[in-house]
Amino acid sequence: MESDFRSSVDMDDEYEKFIRRMNPPMVVIDNETCKNATVIQVDSANKHGILLEVVQVLTDLNLIITKAYISSDGGWFMDVFNVTDQERNKILDEGIIDYIRKSLGADSCFIPSLRRSVGVQPSENHTSIELTGTDRPGLLSEVSAVLTDLKCNVVNAEVWTHNTRAAAVMHVTDESTGSAISDPERLSMIKKLLRSVLKGNNKTRGAKTVVSVGDTHTERRLHQMMFDDRDYERSVDDPLDKNLRPNVTVVNWYDKDYSVVTIKCKDRPKLLFDTVCTLTDMQYVVYHGTVNAEGPEAYQEFYIRHVDGSPVNSDAERERLIQCLEAAIERRVSEGLKLELCTSDRVGLLTDVTRIFRENSLSVTRAEVTTRGGKAVNTFYVRDAAGNPVDAKTIDSIRQAIGLTVLQVKGTSENPKSPSQESPTRFLFGGLFRSKSLYNFSLVKPYS
């Protein structure tokens, strides 16, 4: 059966390559049309997931998408993106422009997209460990301590927490060889001990540990892991006021058999990737859409159907879609105090730093751990164990213990869950479809 599956995948790959040869994708990068952004237009034969693949390439380059127009109705895909760098300047670097052309143009291969993603690390150099479990103060410290005891060095890691759940993708190497860990017995022991730490005293929710040697796109996997862990489910006594959540609505446009998803929330980096990733993984296809993120608030509007061609067809499906999009927006939210650590890398560094956090009653809500040229460059978002802002004296004490020049405070992040405001610009394809007019003419009706 495995060989039949592999044969089927190979046939699909060859068919996709044939379609691409007959209809090669075209990428146009224009720095003249728009005065404050670079315009990138991508035309290609259509297939499920292609929108996510294009957005993933742009966000992996840390580009900011300020506007987007999406059209994939039928066999052809056409997208237009207005993008800037992190300083809100046009993209003038020829190296980046050439990379975008090669990644999205005729010479690229969309199958699989992970092979050419900027965010993918070469697997032969490390072992990838995926963790999911119940969040609690000190969890990252405990996980790091176990890995250090097992002679594993964490070279890269990303940790997300949301709705009492935690997920992490960690790249580790053998302490003595600096290469990937391949011994089955040792890997089995790593999985067993980490699963025990993750489970803790929680008897109602499980924990999961997966060791992988394949390539993975870290952020895509974190979304999938938390989705599989059902972090989108909210308890009836959830203290978070519904008005403080992202504004997500789903209504049906019956005349055209679309479901219309609108999202309004505070803008932040990679927001479009997060929402498109969730729609794709939930097996929805974006046929038309528009994005406006030029101001502090982002507005996204998607005309979607399920992969089988049907719109959202029940209240339960509609509510689940809304919950999953809310969770996708909230997972990467950077609540708490931002701390940046930069120092020479060494085995056990992450363990020592997170132990100091734990001893000072700090909880890590999100973390990014990277190693570049022998340097550890880590970012932590922290709160106190009760979820409150961190006391200034506590931070001073931590910086004294770790090193004043090693650990820098980058300020607090604003609460992203502020009440949404009406977006001043609601548009699709230059006004071809306007949401307000659709409501006025009763073409789009509430689902219920």
How, if at all, do strands 76-84 and 297-306 pair?
A: unpaired
Q: What angle do CA 283, 226, 268 make, to 5 degrees?
A: 85
- 149-189 pLDDT, tens digit each: 999 999 999 999 999 999 999 999 999 888 899 888 999 99
pLDDT given at position 245? 85
**pTM, to two decimals:** 0.83
User: Are 273 and 55 a contacting pair, CB within 8 Å?
Assistant: yes
Q: Which of 118, 141, 308 is nearest to 218 (CA)?
A: 118
Decide if 147 contacts 126 (C-beta within 8 A): no
Q: Which of 67-76, 119-128, 428-437 has the lowest mean pLDDT?
A: 428-437
- pLDDT of residue 402 exceeding 50: yes
- Residue 300 pLDDT greater than 70, yes or no: yes
Tens-place pLDDT, residues 348-361: 999 999 999 999 99
- Structure tokens of 87? 């300083």
- Side chain identity, residue 333: V
User: Average pLDDT for residues 249-261, to the nearest whole number?
Assistant: 93
User: What are φ and ψ of residue 4, in 5° steps?
Assistant: -65, -40
Q: Which two tokens stand for residue 97?
A: 């422009």
- Closest by alpha carbon to 339, among 270, 286, 276, 412? 412
Residues 195-205 have a mean pLDDT of: 78
